[in-house]
Structure 1
């Protein structure tokens, strides 16, 4: 479950490097990153355990599970990134909504 802290660190680092604020949108996105990374790690472990119970060696089962889950994990992550990208780089009326959510 090391991926959850790494996901949080990555999100914090990216936010800091872009100079973005810690607003409600960031916090919702951070919760989503935590949930997605935990879900992906759990699915890989469960898939590897299932393969291990079927008689495969633990290392082989883990590598197979990681390879099988890579594409769905990347697709989910890219869909999330492309979904929130317009909100993160918003201007105009959408930026006004972002500014209204910030504390005075």
Structure 2
């Protein structure tokens, strides 16, 4: 069974980037293209999301400045992976969070 790696990043006001990813178990075998389309339909302008709404780790640096830095994170892509899941919730549980 291929797990799913969700890749995302935080881009601050100076365009500095911090990349991150999480791995979900995929017992329902959700396909990558279907998954990417579903995620993109839930994003702000098909790009951004608030990490706390989706229960994902915050990638903002300790130097985060609310006057110049955005509060959202940016979706990069999803991919199949053989890495073990590192999220307690499965992919189906994550998708339920998206609404």
Structure number with bigger Rg: 1
Give the TM-score of the pair, scaled to structure 1: 0.24
Normalised by the size of structure 2, how large is the TM-score? 0.24
